[in-house]
Structure 1
């Protein structure tokens, strides 16, 4: 029987580690079993291994198979809902505690890359690009907000000065965050997986979990084996497939599309992104793009609700790319892929504990690169007895989408249409 493969993406083609881990067979015993080998699962496992825990990771497909190995590769600070929204919605106490964590994910990523010498094409700096004057005013407010919470590596860019960074006249201005950046995401998760294994951890691929049995200890059951563990962490995000139905009802898989061009001549690269920073615009249905380590333009955007993969990714994304960069009219597209992320009703991560020894984390709502790394450390601390940060997230209400899955998709799609109209009207 053949092993499952990664999506046919640029990331999979340029992966540093193409080794296939064994399938789980027989019975194994450990302190913690983590279900899911994406950013959340591997970050949790690595942090636990650093604390001396015996950890096994069970993955239904391949390391980084889901959003962790298919995303735009951008290190973006804060949460989908920014700090001001959190204060307004959840109060002063939670707001202050969340503000202290808003920039921790990017710091952890850099720490891991340096500590474990991970080769993942790290480049510093990300740009928020305003498509209209209202969005530019919002970026001014974001700068003031983040600076009030200690982030002082920000630069506001006018419509003319942003062209020093982006070779396009689309934008009314922007905000440069020097604490942001971009990476080859699959190589980032693979590098952390290798570090975890070097600390004694085990990873089993092609080992889909069919049942969780809670108890002391708990049991994680696959078709071919079982892991008996004192603690279980479920980190499947958009790929849980029935393991925790009550948790899954609280979020919805959504798809985003990405393309990668052929490697571009250096002079073209300099015209597109002279300073090498990654970019995301400020629209609700945003575009995001950057240059890869070997000089390709990676361009993403668009959203499908309910995890439906569009038939022709290029037909969705290429027009967006050409609107930004008409000079790429004749460029060859080498890769086009889609991947699912998980959207929550409140656009905030959902973290919790079921019973005495089962933890879960999900729903980063488009901010998964930084938030998933942070969550892994928070889950690890909670399992080790320090629940301070975990309790902040766990105290926040987790709402189900109205009407179950049948209404989740049209409900959210209608909202997307509304916000798309607002984007186009600049209101």
Structure 2
């Protein structure tokens, strides 16, 4: 089977490498078999390989083919639901445990980049931008909440302060997270894959898994081969179909869209984001943007529930960009693409085991870059017999969407319309 070509994104066009790894042929054995070469799978495989396990990764398409290689590339701490929400719904013990892990993913990313010298244009600093007074009050509360869990790298910005960081009149203020940042996500996936191979791991592309067979050891089957392993990690997220049907009923693929402009003149780029931080606003259907290493504006936003392809990505995103930066009118868009993330009903990730030897993690609900790297670390801990942190996530209830597969898209879109209206009205 031949691997798919990467989507025609800016990331694919500026990737450090484009070598194709072979597909799995024949039978082999490994300590660990990881299904999926996105950030969850790669982080799991890398942490396990660092612990001395023999690791084999099976990828249906290419390394970083899904959300991991197509996203906005922003390091955003925390989860899609904040710690106060977790405490309200699941209790203080769970909130304290998850709060203790909420800021770890960014450190894992930086450790991997530094240790393996991965060239992925990693830059520090991320801003949450408030579009109205209500959102500004919420950012003030977020700062207090995060600082109560030991995260002290936060700086509240007034509207005037924020103009020194973002050349836009759109915002009432913001919260600067000095431990946030941004990077080239596809190049990070490729660098993590190289790191796994440097530790003796094997990675096969164009090797979609068709069946997982339980037994004394678990046997993972592709169309042209199999891997027998002591443990299996299922990490397909929004691009996984058929392997774990019970889990797939509890999540929904959603599409988000991104454009990338032509390279901007140096003075325009410098004026746009003078400190080269990334930005996301505080709306429910949020906008997010940053500069690339070659001074392009990467701008994303919007959600298509059910992961339907929009007719025109530019017609959806360019008006958002011009609302934020009207002075960019006429700037050429060189790339436009979409990619899928996985939404859960409670917007919290779903971790779990099937039997004693199959682990899964999915459903980061738009906050995947840091959470996936954390997931890989806690999965590796659990496989090594230290499951306390994994079990915090695995203990969260996992609910199906109301109405099942047929109605989950319209129900969720209706809810999104409601919250979008609240954002517009500032209530």
* Pairwise TM-score range, normalised by the shorter structure: over 0.9
CA displacement at 1:19 relative to structure 2: 0.8
Match of 2:281 in 1: 281
Match of 2:336 in 1: 336
What is the rounded CA distance, in whole Å, between the counterparts of 1:355 and 1:75 in structure 2? 33
Match of 1:86 in 2: 86
CA displacement at 1:2 relative to structure 2: 4.2
**Partner secondary structure for residue 238 of structure 1:** helix
Match of 1:131 in 2: 131
What is the rounded CA distance, in whole Å, between the counterparts of 1:118 and 1:419 in structure 2? 39
What is the rounded CA distance, in whole Å, between the counterparts of 1:142 and 1:55 in structure 2? 39
Match of 2:207 in 1: 207
CA displacement at 1:255 relative to structure 2: 0.2
Alignment of 1:53-72 (within 5 A): 53-72=53-72
What is the rounded CA distance, in whole Å, between the counterparts of 2:350 and 2:2 in structure 1? 35
What is the rounded CA distance, in whole Å, between the counterparts of 2:21 and 2:147 in structure 1? 44
What is the rounded CA distance, in whole Å, between the counterparts of 1:290 and 1:78 in structure 2? 19
Match of 1:402 in 2: 402
Deviations 1:342-368 (A, max 9, x none): 000110000000011100000000000
Given that residues 36 and 59 in structure 1 are in contact (C-alpha distance below 8 angstroms), is that contact kept between their aligned partners in structure 2?
yes
What is the rounded CA distance, in whole Å, between the counterparts of 1:213 and 1:23 in structure 2? 20
What is the rounded CA distance, in whole Å, between the counterparts of 1:29 and 1:250 in structure 2? 32
Deviations 1:3-44 (A, max 9, x none): 311111000111112111101010010011000000000000
Count of aligned residue pairs for this structure pair: 427
**Partner secondary structure for residue 159 of structure 2:** coil
What is the rounded CA distance, in whole Å, between the counterparts of 2:314 and 2:41 in structure 1? 31
**Partner secondary structure for residue 135 of structure 1:** helix
What is the rounded CA distance, in whole Å, between the counterparts of 2:320 and 2:104 in structure 1? 32
Match of 1:222 in 2: 222
Q: Which runs of 4+ in 1 moved over 2 A?
A: none
Match of 2:167 in 1: 167
Are 2:376 and 1:376 equivalent residues in the alignment? Answer: yes
Are 2:255 and 1:255 equivalent residues in the alignment? Answer: yes
Deviations 1:367-426 (A, max 9, x none): 000000000011011011110100101111111111211011001000011011111101
What is the rounded CA distance, in whole Å, between the counterparts of 1:387 and 1:316 in structure 2? 44
Are 2:419 and 1:415 equivalent residues in the alignment? Answer: no
**Partner secondary structure for residue 409 of structure 1:** helix
Alignment of 1:121-200 (within 5 A): 121-200=121-200
Deviations 1:286-341 (A, max 9, x none): 00000001110000001001111112100000000001111111111010000000
Match of 1:388 in 2: 388
CA displacement at 1:226 relative to structure 2: 0.6
What is the rounded CA distance, in whole Å, between the counterparts of 2:2 and 2:215 in structure 1? 34
CA displacement at 1:158 relative to structure 2: 0.5
Match of 1:102 in 2: 102
**Partner secondary structure for residue 164 of structure 1:** coil
**Partner secondary structure for residue 374 of structure 1:** helix
Given that residues 214 and 358 in structure 1 are in contact (C-alpha distance below 8 angstroms), is that contact kept between their aligned partners in structure 2?
no
Deviations 1:37-84 (A, max 9, x none): 000000000000000101100000000000000000000000000011
CA displacement at 1:216 relative to structure 2: 2.0
**Partner secondary structure for residue 101 of structure 1:** coil
CA RMSD of aligned residues (A): 0.7
CA displacement at 1:240 relative to structure 2: 0.9
Given that residues 24 and 205 in structure 1 are in contact (C-alpha distance below 8 angstroms), is that contact kept between their aligned partners in structure 2?
yes
What is the rounded CA distance, in whole Å, between the counterparts of 1:381 and 1:76 in structure 2? 23
Q: Which runs of 5+ in 1 are unaligned?
A: none
What is the rounded CA distance, in whole Å, between the counterparts of 2:387 and 2:272 in structure 1? 45
What is the rounded CA distance, in whole Å, between the counterparts of 2:402 and 2:84 in structure 1? 26
Match of 2:33 in 1: 33
What is the rounded CA distance, in whole Å, between the counterparts of 1:230 and 1:3 in structure 2? 27
CA displacement at 1:215 relative to structure 2: 2.0
Alignment of 1:107-122 (within 5 A): 107-122=107-122
Given that residues 125 and 182 in structure 2 are in contact (C-alpha distance below 8 angstroms), is that contact kept between their aligned partners in structure 1?
yes
Given that residues 2 and 206 in structure 2 are in contact (C-alpha distance below 8 angstroms), is that contact kept between their aligned partners in structure 1?
no
CA displacement at 1:89 relative to structure 2: 1.1
Match of 1:306 in 2: 306
Given that residues 287 and 299 in structure 1 are in contact (C-alpha distance below 8 angstroms), is that contact kept between their aligned partners in structure 2?
yes
What is the rounded CA distance, in whole Å, between the counterparts of 2:216 and 2:330 in structure 1? 61
What is the rounded CA distance, in whole Å, between the counterparts of 1:160 and 1:19 in structure 2? 47
**Partner secondary structure for residue 200 of structure 1:** coil
